[in-house]
């Protein structure tokens, strides 16, 4: 769960068919938003009418990303609560949980005096912008980890700070935000208690500092940068016993993306037959893998 960078790592896990749950409530940028959703899920504090609102012809919730917003109220509530149960199930069963924090800047909705995860393009005059202190960041992260550890004592936590720069806040403000996140997060790191830090931010800022590793917006890491950071992540966190399986899955994924010049040819038909045999062989050993 977390910022855009969580999406990058999650999509790599999806590609290689590791069982995972990626941002069930969309991209979440700061620790307080993650804490709220984890607390809701564990306590089965289901979303109700008072947690949603209608704006610009869609139903929204301040605790989730606008990606989930839809026009039908009942469907929206049903979707939110289904995702809540899905998250709870994973929190109970997960072997590893990765949290990626993007910013320490938060917006407080004046009317309810509550910090939101997403403003849903409501006019900014209705919010107060605040910078979470180092102590606030630590307290929120500590609350989240403690809650999960109570229901899943064996879980390993992997914490990271997103390398994506929030330059809409300003260059100086982005640096302050990352500094607060890093300081607060490191106060919560405890390797003896299986709370670990993965330096995605530091890899991007130092080893990959050249702009050739960024998208055209000069903010987000590009495919090359994501692949390099993934290699570091994979080396540290993914068992070497899976290397051969990952290679076979990558071969199948590449074959599935193949576009033939002559789909009706015998050569292509044989190619498809061989591909199905490769898929069946993987699924025979790992029934949860679906292509």
The predicted pLDDT at position 4 comes to 83
Number of domains in the chain: 2
Q: Which of 238, 259, 283 is the last residue of a domain?
A: 238
Q: Which domain holds residue 55?
A: 4-238
**Residue 194 sits in the same domain as residue 278:** no
Q: Which of 199, 221, 238 is the last residue of a domain?
A: 238
* Residue 260 in this model has a pLDDT that exceeds 90: no
The predicted pLDDT at position 74 comes to 97
Strand order in the sheet with 105-109: 114-116, 105-109, 127-131
CATH number at residue 21: 3.40.50
pLDDT in tens, 34-82: 999 999 999 999 999 999 999 999 999 999 999 999 999 999 999 999 9
**Residue 159 sits in the same domain as residue 272:** no
- Bigger pLDDT: 5 or 132? 132
Q: How many residues does the chain have?
A: 291
**Residue 151 sits in the same domain as residue 263:** no
Q: Which of 195, 219, 238 is the last residue of a domain?
A: 238
**Residue 167 sits in the same domain as residue 212:** yes
The predicted pLDDT at position 263 comes to 87
**Residue 204 sits in the same domain as residue 253:** no
Please state, in angstroms and rounded to a whole number, the distance separating the CA atoms of residues 173 and 167: 8
Write 222-225 long-range contacts (CB < 8 A, 24+): 225/163
The predicted pLDDT at position 193 comes to 92
Q: Sorting pLDDT into bands at 50, 70 and 90, what band is 205? A: very high
**Residue 121 sits in the same domain as residue 258:** no
Phi then psi for residue 95, to 5 deg, are: -85, -35
Please state, in angstroms and rounded to a whole number, the distance separating the CA atoms of residues 218 and 167: 10
**Residue 279 sits in the same domain as residue 189:** no
**Residue 207 sits in the same domain as residue 245:** no
Percent of the chain with pLDDT over 70: 100
**Residue 252 sits in the same domain as residue 147:** no
Phi and psi based region of residue 163 (left: phi greater than 0; alpha: psi -120 to 50; beta: remaining): alpha
**Residue 101 sits in the same domain as residue 161:** yes
**Residue 10 sits in the same domain as residue 139:** yes
Segment 119-137 shows an average pLDDT of 97
**Residue 174 sits in the same domain as residue 214:** yes
């Amino acid at each position: 769960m977390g910022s855009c960078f969580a999406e990058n790592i999650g999509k790599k896990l999806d590609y290689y068919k590791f069982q995972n749950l990626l941002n069930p409530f969309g991209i979440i940028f700061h620790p307080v938003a993650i804490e709220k959703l984890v607390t809701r899920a564990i306590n089965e504090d289901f979303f109700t009418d008072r947690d949603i609102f209608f704006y610009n012809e869609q139903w929204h919730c301040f605790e989730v990303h606008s990606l989930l917003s839809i026009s039908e109220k009942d469907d929206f509530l049903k979707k939110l609560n289904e995702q809540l149960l899905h998250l709870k199930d994973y929190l109970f069963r997960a072997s590893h949980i990765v949290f990626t924090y993007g910013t320490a800047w938060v917006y407080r909705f004046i009317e309810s005096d509550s910090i939101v995860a997403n403003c849903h393009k409501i006019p900014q005059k209705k919010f107060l912008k605040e910078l979470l202190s180092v102590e606030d960041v630590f307290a929120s992260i500590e609350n989240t980890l403690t809650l999960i550890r109570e229901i899943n004592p064996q879980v390993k936590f992997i914490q990271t700070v997103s390398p994506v720069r929030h330059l809409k806040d300003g260059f100086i403000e982005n640096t302050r935000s990352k500094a607060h996140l890093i300081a607060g997060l490191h106060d919560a790191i405890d390797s003896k208690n299986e709370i670990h830090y993965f330096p995605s931010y530091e890899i991007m800022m130092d080893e990959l500092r050249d702009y050739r590793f960024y998208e055209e917006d000069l903010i987000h890491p590009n495919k090359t940068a994501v692949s390099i950071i993934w290699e570091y992540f994979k080396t540290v966190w993914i068992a070497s016993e899976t290397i051969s399986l990952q290679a076979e899955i990558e071969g199948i994924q590449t074959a599935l993306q193949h576009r033939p010049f002559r789909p009706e040819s015998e050569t292509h038909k044989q190619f498809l037959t061989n591909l199905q045999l490769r898929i069946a062989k993987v699924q025979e050993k790992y029934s949860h893998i679906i292509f």
